[in-house]
Amino acid sequence: MNYTKTIREYCLQNKGGVFDIHRELVDHFPACKPKTFYKILKRLEEEGVLVRKAHGVYLIVADPNDRIGSGDKLVDWYINNGHGVVVGYDMYNKFKITPYNDGKIVVYTNRIRKGTQTVGKHHFIYLNIKNFDKRTCNVIYLLELIEHKASTIDLDFVQWDSVINSLLADFNAFFYDEVLMAKEYKYATICTLCDRIQYLGRESALFMDMYLFHWGEKRC
């Protein structure tokens, strides 16, 4: 098989996408020897088909006149179609709870194999969540906003409270359980969320106690 031709055609069919070396090798070109694979990628980079963004990550060039590539394409690839969610100060800015931004773009995603991956100002963190749909993301937003409330710079407390109440209107405990299985949050964060839910009458106290017990089991 002519792997150079095959990989070049694959890139041309996926212009503007992200080329994660490890994922592509395992998922699409498992028969290709790694040493050969890396040489081909180097050649494609020289040809302008690929643009290297960081160790193990390329962008597939969509426009031959654009050899830089957009960081937003990275974020889109890691979050679109239920693959992830943006958190951190970009999320805080989205909800208008602070005007401050630390310049980092933090993404929870299932599109990396494990651990974390840094590409410039982008920080991708693996979470074992099958589908980051709207309700799952809302639970993550709730937990993140509560967990980092005290450390958020220039926090608008009134807006924070309003956002929390708005997100709770769509709360579903099934998605809450899935998120806690994928990521640990402080016990105080869980208690605060449960208190807010019970206060608004969204779930029974007994039901939420079961989830607090589940969290305790996970910690043991």
Task: Examine the domain organization and report whether 8 and 105 are in the same domain.
Answer: no
Q: What domain range includes position 139?
A: 73-219
Return the closest-CA partner of residue 171 out of 211, 137, 144. Answer: 137
For residue 77, give the nearest of 97, 105, 102 by alpha carbon: 105
Mark whether 25 and 122 lie in a shared domain.
no
Q: Please check whether residue 54 is in contact with residue 120, taking contact to mean a CB–CB distance below 8 angstroms.
A: yes
Cα separation, 194 vs 88, whole angstroms = 22
**Quick one: 101 and 26 in the same domain?**
no
The structural domain count of the chain equals 2
Predicted confidence at residue 121, as pLDDT, reads 85
Q: What is the pLDDT of residue 177?
A: 81
**Do residues 25 and 51 both lie within one domain?**
yes
Answer whether 0.85 is exceeded by the pTM.
Answer: no
184 in the same domain as 109: yes
User: CATH number for the domain including 13?
Assistant: 1.10.10
CB 125 within 8 A of CB 108: yes
Neighbouring-strand partners of residue 51: 59
- 129 Cβ contact list (under 8 Å, min separation 6): 108, 110, 136, 178, 179, 182
Claim to verify: residue 17 and residue 124 sit in the same structural domain: no
CA dist., res. 113 & res. 195, Å (int): 35
Say yes or no: 103 and 204 in one domain.
Answer: yes
Answer positive or negative: Cα dihedral of 209, 157, 123, 131.
positive
Residue by residue, pLDDT tens for the chain (220 residues) are 788 999 999 998 988 888 888 889 989 999 999 999 999 999 999 888 988 877 788 888 876 655 444 446 778 888 988 999 999 999 999 999 999 999 999 999 998 877 888 877 889 999 999 999 999 999 999 999 999 999 999 999 999 999 999 998 877 777 788 898 899 999 889 888 888 887 776 554 444 555 555 555 555 4
Task: Give the distance, in angstroms, between the CA of residue 115 and the centroid of all CA atoms in the same chain.
Answer: 12
Q: Which of 9, 10, 4 is nearest to 41 (CA)?
A: 4
Q: Is residue 68 part of a domain?
A: no
